Chains A and B, each alone.
Chain A
Amino acid sequence: MIEAKDLVRQFTSGDRTIKPVNGVSFELGKGQLASIVGKSGSGKSTLLSLLGALDKPTSGDVVVDGVSLAGLPDGKLTEYRRRDIGFVFQQFNLIPNLSAVDNVMLPMEFAGVRTSARAQRARELLEQVQLDPEKQTRRTNRLSGGEQQRVAIARALANEPKLILADEPTGNLDEQTGGHIIELLSSLSRDHNTTILVVTHDRGLARKADRRFRLQQGQLVEEAAAARN
């Protein structure tokens, strides 16, 4: 479904050059739940941004369902992010002055979905991520961290993406709340057959993952997968 081919991303600051991603290759199949662990600053976020076309690799390529991102113009990359990718960030990154429903409707608006269909689907998604109905119209900066992350997951699902990229989705949440979010992602991948790649330090999620990767020295190393229970 998604394939990374010898990805390299190098940053130059002054005369110092670092390569947090230095020759990463792997492939994920449809509906798989994969986890990436690694030390802070090891390049996990950098790798995710290359896979989600937030950033362009110095060399290498990402191929999604047979389409190479390397050859696409910016407009097509925007379309790729809109249609094929759902992002979940550590900082939630919701639009703070919009309601939960409005946030979830945004990707659909960008995709040209009719207004009435948008609202309908947004409410369904918020129900799926178990956000209290009375909080759906509340401005998201008035929601708790766990609630915000639920809204963010609902927003990531809005356009039925092929791949959800989650960068430390529980990093800003307490253990219990984080546990609920992990449960949610895990059940989504199972129920919707959505491919999910999660950067996490959470052992529970790592245990649930079909594929487990570790990023070190710019290289991605696959670890033996635990049986999914």
Chain B
Amino acid sequence: MSVLARSVGNAFRNKIRTAAVVAVLAVAIGLALSMLVANQAVGAKVQELNASVGTTLTVNPAGGQGFEGGGEPLTAAEAATAAAVPNVTSVVGTKALRLRTETATTDTANAAAGTAQPGAGGPGGQAGGVTTSLTAAIDAGTLGNRNNNTGSTNGTGTGTGNGTEPVRTFTLPITATGTAAEVDSSGKALDITSGTGLGDYSAASTKALVGTTLAGKNKLATGSTFTVAGKTFTVAGIFDAGTTFGNNAVYLTLAEAQALAETPGELSSMVVTVNSMENVDSTKTALQAALGSSKADVTQGQRNLETAVSSLNSVKGISLVAFIAALATAGLIILLIMVMLVRERRREIGVLKAIGARNRTIGLQFVLEALVLVALGSVVGAAIASFASGGIASALISSSSSSGAGAVDQRGPGGGFGGGFGGQGGPFGGATQLLTSVTASASPGVIAAGITAVFGVAIIGALVPALLTARIRPIEVLRGE
């Protein structure tokens, strides 16, 4: 019989009470662990978001909200001006083109009009476009049908269509972006899953990077060829942008895209990277001033992310507070239970002292008894947390995002044509998508850290009653005799 064995035995002296105490502790511990898991998951997501696109600004031609829309295009001169603004670490110019699938029908003009007019990327969509041998990877779906109708109406309006025309297959345009560096429109490095990059991004080249879904749809692999404006391009690599729309795209070198668009030196947008998060706001102001508001619009590419991040941060704060509160509750439960047990066993403590037990032996016995209860509570609590933490985290996030990010403009990077290239908000992606992609899985490491904290608090909670036992005098053994 050791102190530990005695403590375990004492923990089970009153089984019904032990079960009740363990159940209450388990709820508190389960809640604490769930909150910690949510906190960690959200924290990791915030870090990831900040690391990915936290420090980029997007510059578009003034007034141009849509694809290639608006006023004077940007030029290399503006890129140089932007690069000279303090705290700017890099300026990547891009030239976006919309590629239109070559059709075998003779009704090309009609098709072109039909495709261009709806302007999925926003107002001011450029008519015409560049033809390609590629077929878009995105099914037109309902959007296509709606646009198809519009197209027919337009066709009728221009007088080229006729009423008996068979149903035309509408295809969404493919985005081709000429870029001066191996980054996407938000400044994030491209994730090339096979093949290589384009090498020198400043020179004209017939090499191209193709998105995964677009490559799949057109059965392209590294080394395959396709045509744009009749010119043959070779697939140098396949990239994964992580979104359906982002993968329905082609990257070319900037010079090549400018040549294809017959607009040498012109940029449709610039991605400006700022050296740190703290400087983003001031740099945005400085950049806007340097370029002139009549010439360019500077937008914070991660505006939507900021909302997402701030809403995630509030979830993180809430979960931290809840974790601490639940932890403190567990500690308080232990404190009260042990105080009760000490009072109840006054006489027995007197007996132990009368037969020569040291104060620390008795104190240790009570702390160990408390830890047995906490251990049982932790086992059940961890089980609760592993089932509940996912639900608790998403409940926290959805309640927070419906009052926060969800209520505001939800623009996503790569979320539709618009969002990606600084246009008006697209219906895709956005904060909600980011938020729901937070996976709160109860990792053993986090659970272990949480349980360590629980035990720490429990020891503190049990120490108070354990110290109370030292004050009980051995004469208590005679009480009631």
Listed in ascending order, the chain A residues whose CB lies under 8 Å from chain B are: 45, 49, 52-55, 74-75, 78-79, 81-83, 87, 89-91, 93-95, 97-98, 102, 105-107, 109-111, 115, 155, 159, 167
Complex contacts, A52 vs chain B, CB 8 Å: 354
The residues of A that contact B1 with a CB separation of less than 8 Å are 98, 102, 105-106, 109
The answer on a CB contact under 8 Å between B351 and A81 is no
- Decide: A98 and B356 in contact? CB cutoff 8 A: no
Q: Verify A54–B481 contact, CB threshold 8 A.
A: no
- Asked whether, in the complex, the Cβ of B355 is within 8 Å of the Cβ of A45, the reply is no
Contact across chains for B475 and A55 when beta carbons are under 8 A apart: yes
Query: Are B358 and A78 within 8 A (Cβ)?
Result: yes
Per a CB cutoff under 8 Å, which of A74, A87, A105 touches B354?
A87
The 8 A CB mask of B16-60 against A (1 = contact, 0 = none) is 000000000000000000000000000000000000000000000
**CB pair A98 B355 closer than 8 Å:** no
**Contact (A98, B9) CB under 8 Å given A78-B353, A91-B481:** yes
Structural contact, B351 and A79, CB atoms closer than 8 A:
no
Q: Is the CB of B356 within 8 A of A54?
A: no
- Decide if B481 touches A81 in the complex (CB within 8 Å): no
| B6 proximal to A (CB < 8 A) | yes
Q: Are A97 and B352 in contact (CB under 8 A)?
A: no
Question: Cβ of A89: which chain B residues have Cβ within 8 Å of it?
Answer: 477-478, 481
State whether B475 touches A97 (Cβ < 8 A). Answer: no
Which residues of chain A come closer than 8 Å to B480, judged between CB atoms?
Answer: 91
When distances are taken between beta carbons in the complex, the residues of chain A under 8 Å from B352 are 95, 106
Does B473 make an interface contact (CB < 8 A)?
yes
On chain A, the residues within 8 Å of B348 by CB distance are 95
> Chain B residues near A74 (CB, 8 Å)?
359
B481: shortest Cβ distance to chain A, in Å?
6
Contacts beyond the supplied A82-B356, A83-B356: 6 A-B pairs with Cβ under 8 Å: A54-B477, A78-B353, A81-B474, A82-B357, A95-B348, A106-B357
- Report the separation of the CA atoms of residues A54 and B351 in the bound assembly, to the nearest whole angstrom: 10
A-B contacts, 7 listed (Cβ < 8 Å): A52-B354, A55-B474, A95-B352, A97-B9, A98-B9, A106-B1, A115-B2
Give Cα A110 to B362, complex, Å: 10
Residues on the B chain within 8 Å of A98, using CB? 1, 6, 9
Query: B10 contacts the other chain (Cβ, under 8 Å)?
Result: yes
The 4 closest A-B pairs by CB, nearest first: A82-B356, A54-B474, A55-B475, A102-B1
Most chain A CB within 10 A, of B13, B347, B355, B473, is at: B355
A-contacting residues, B448-481, CB 8 Å: 473-475, 477-478, 480-481
The CA of A55 and the CA of B354, in the complex, are separated in Å by 10
B361 adjacent to chain A (CB < 8 Å): yes
* Nearest CB of chain B from residue A76's CB, rounded to whole Å: 11
Contact B355–A155 (Cβ < 8 Å): yes
C-alpha gap A111/B475 in the complex (Å) = 20
A175 to B357, CA, bound (A): 33
CB <8 Å contact, A110 and B355:
yes
Please, how many angstroms separate the alpha-carbon atoms of A123 and B6 in the complex? 19
Contacts of B481 in A (CB 8 A): 45, 89-91, 167
> Which residues on the A side are within 8 Å of B355 (C-beta)?
81-82, 87, 106-107, 110, 155
User: Is there contact, CB below 8 Å, between A97 and B10?
Assistant: yes
Q: A110 touching B358 by the CB < 8 A rule?
A: yes
Query: CA of A79 to CA of B357 in the docked complex: distance in angstroms?
Result: 8
| Set of chain A residues within 8 Å of B357, measured between Cβ atoms | 78, 82, 106, 110
Which residues of the other chain, A, contact B359 by a CB distance below 8 angstroms? 74, 78
**Whole-angstrom distance between the alpha carbons of A23 and B10 in the complex?**
43
Contact B354 A54 (CB under 8 A): yes
How far apart sit A221 and B284, CA to CA, in the bound complex (Å)? 101
> Is B361's CB under 8 angstroms from A110's CB?
yes
B478 x A54 contact (CB < 8 A)? yes
Chain A's nearest CB lies how many Å from the CB of B346? 12
Assembled-state Cα–Cα distance A167/B358 (Å): 23
In whole angstroms, what is the CA distance A45 to B476 when docked?
12
Complex CA gap A107/B357 in Å reads: 7
